[in-house]
Amino acid sequence: MKRRVAYGVDNYEELVRDNGYFVDKTSYIAKLETIKNPVFLRPRRFGKSLWCRILGAYYNVNRKDDFERLFGHTYIGQYPTPLRNSFIILPLNFSIIDPKGTIEEIERRFDYMCNLRLRTTVGLAETYFQNRVEVDLNRSLSENLEHVLTHIEHYNLPPLYIIIDEYDNFANQLIMANQDQQYRALTADDSFLKTFFKILKEGRGAGTIANVYITGVLPITIEELASSFNIATFLTLDPEFEAMLGFTQAEVDQLLDSVYQDYGFDPATRTEVDAIIKNHYNGYRFVTSDGEALYNSTILMYFLRDFTRHRQIPKFLTDQNLRTDLSWIKRITGVYPADTEALIGQLTTENIVPYDDNLLTNKFNMSQFFASSFHPISLFYLGLLTRRDLFVMALPNMNMRQIFAEYFNELHHIDVSTRYADMMQRFVDHPDLEQLFSGYWQQYVSQLPEAIFAQVNENFYRTTFFELCSRYLSYWFTWNVERSYPQGKSDLEFVGKYHEKFAGLRWVIEFKYYSNAELSRLKTGIESFELQHEDVEQVAGYVEGLKMEYPEAKISQYVIYCFGNQGFRVFTV
């Protein structure tokens, strides 16, 4: 029976029931048991909610009879801890709480939604509570929770294990909506949220709460709540837990082995597929810059879902949900629009932005979050940037490069949608790189504001050319940016999809840039500019490595010279 690619499924029991592919991270359960009140932050779509459901299923005292079915195939099923099925589980998901309206309205919705969850928890544990506890929906969550904890203590019942998913979701929505006054009220000393966390702290001290696991995206809210819940242990930057969420290369290799076997894919296509997913979904480094990079697990499943359904590489490799994160950039830098333009411009031209490693802490408040010095740190937590080294951050993969290039076009009002159909159709009919790049220069580069040319470089031309091509040619091609070879990294490669008309075609392109001033010093015109010997050797070195990997490929090699805003030359090597 073929296993299912469960994209977007965060219900562990559904995953097991439907025989979904599962990358086993359960060895981390034992490690987590040594941590008191762990807080683990990761960007969206890294599997946080699924992990919460796994923890809930593992520790649930009511699921003892289901343990083998749920965990028999996992590491923790083979090596269970003594605490398995020992607690009454209270799962809370703050993402379902609507943050609209006054702080009083938010509080009513918070109490109502969480009280419903608490009432369900008490009902499922009726064997222990025996109708002695009532969760009154007209009371606050804190009052009801305190009542439940008192009953647990009095009757010596199994303690609660509280799992809070998306702890910062509705607070983040207030920040995004510029509702700063409501946010300050939410995190004030007398707020309902701080009162709730005080109850958690008291329950931990009394032993009626076995542990509190908290997950989310940003550390802002937990910092604001520090006075009420100063017992948290932050694991976000702990090297032991870096790979608890997200996939390692070994895990992805094993997953692809299973997919290829189950669905009978041609093994000859595996190398190309491996390269595509690594370029688009890998590259996240949360703790150190020299450690192993991680894959975004949910976005990888997005690819595999379409890959297994249609048995070919998807046309679009970027999950549209990723683009919603760009709204954070507008909010973070929105106070000073020039900051937005500068940040996006730097990432588009350089693909790096400097940061202060001392600021990369687990906790900071909202005022810091919007300071320009914190922009790289904020985008790091949102998953838009990752560590390149101790001094600069970079876009983690081609997905993010494409998204930021799109945002660059939006900021500068550059038309990328209405003037390119003819040139792209000509290319599909008769592939000609020089003609394609000429169309890009005439239609795209001609729209750029004059001020942009003080910043452009070879990376800028490469990135915007790739982004434009990917809009129109993704049906037939994928692309590599900075692909590694023994001789270095290539700038840009066109790769014909193995199941389309350009199968086997590979174009290796090296970009070189000369400013207007440098061109003037050369004392030669663009038309008389000659191909440079060292550039020929450079691109030939990449092709040598490529031939060793793909001896049957139809490889062409090019050097593209861009001269400020004056023109270009394309040479076939």
The per-residue pLDDT for range 140-196, each reduced to its tens digit, is 999 999 999 999 999 999 999 999 999 998 888 888 777 888 988 998 889 999 999
Q: Are 383 and 296 in contact (CB under 8 A)?
A: yes
Give CA–CA dist 453/562, Å, rounded. 11
> What does each of the 573 residues of the chain score in pLDDT, given as a tens digit?
689 999 989 999 999 999 999 999 999 999 999 999 999 999 988 999 999 999 999 999 999 999 999 999 999 999 999 999 999 999 999 999 999 899 999 999 999 999 999 999 999 999 999 999 999 999 999 999 999 999 999 999 999 999 999 999 888 888 877 788 898 899 888 999 999 999 999 999 999 999 999 999 988 888 788 778 999 999 999 999 999 999 999 999 999 999 999 999 999 999 999 999 999 999 999 998 888 999 999 999 999 999 999 999 999 898 877 766 677 777 777 667 778 888 889 999 999 999 988 888 756 667 777 778 888 998 999 999 999 999 999 999 999 999 899 989 999 999 999 999 999 999 999 999 999 999 999 999 999 999 899 889 999 999 999 999 999 999 999 999 999 999 999 999 999 999 999 999 999 999 999 999 999 998 889 999 999 999 999 999 999 999 999 999 999 999 999 999 999 999 999
Q: Report phi then psi at 217, rounded to 5.
A: -110, -50
Sequence-distant (6+) residues with CB within 8 A of 432 are 426
Sequence-distant (6+) residues with CB within 8 A of 521 are none
Q: What is the pLDDT of residue 541?
A: 95
Q: Which helix (H) or strand (E) holds 396?
A: none
Q: What is the pLDDT of residue 47?
A: 94
Give CA–CA dist 230/134, Å, rounded. 30
Q: What is the pLDDT of residue 364?
A: 67
Place of tokens 């209405």: 418
pLDDT in tens, 7-57: 989 999 999 999 999 999 999 999 999 999 999 999 988 999 999 999 999
CA angle 31, 32, 36 (to 5 degrees): 130
CATH classification code of 24-234: 3.40.50
Q: What is the pLDDT of residue 335?
A: 65
Q: How far is CA 95 from CA 110, 167, 228, 297, 398, in A?
A: 10, 8, 21, 20, 29
Q: What is the pLDDT of residue 319?
A: 80
Q: Are 274 and 267 in contact (CB under 8 A)?
A: no
Q: What is the mean pLDDT of the chain?
A: 93
Q: How far is CA 283 from CA 297, 323, 324, in A?
A: 12, 18, 20
pLDDT in tens, 486-501: 999 999 999 999 999 9
CB atoms near residue 18 (< 10 Å): 12
Give CA–CA dist 374/389, Å, rounded. 17
Q: What is the pLDDT of residue 362?
A: 57
Question: Is it true that domain 424-572 has CATH number 3.40.1350.10?
Answer: yes
In the chain, domain spans = 24-234, 249-317, 424-572
- Return the DSSP state at 158: P
Structure tokens at 406: 């799109």
If 0-12 CB within 10 Å is exposed, 13-18 middle and 19+ buried, where does residue 60 land? buried
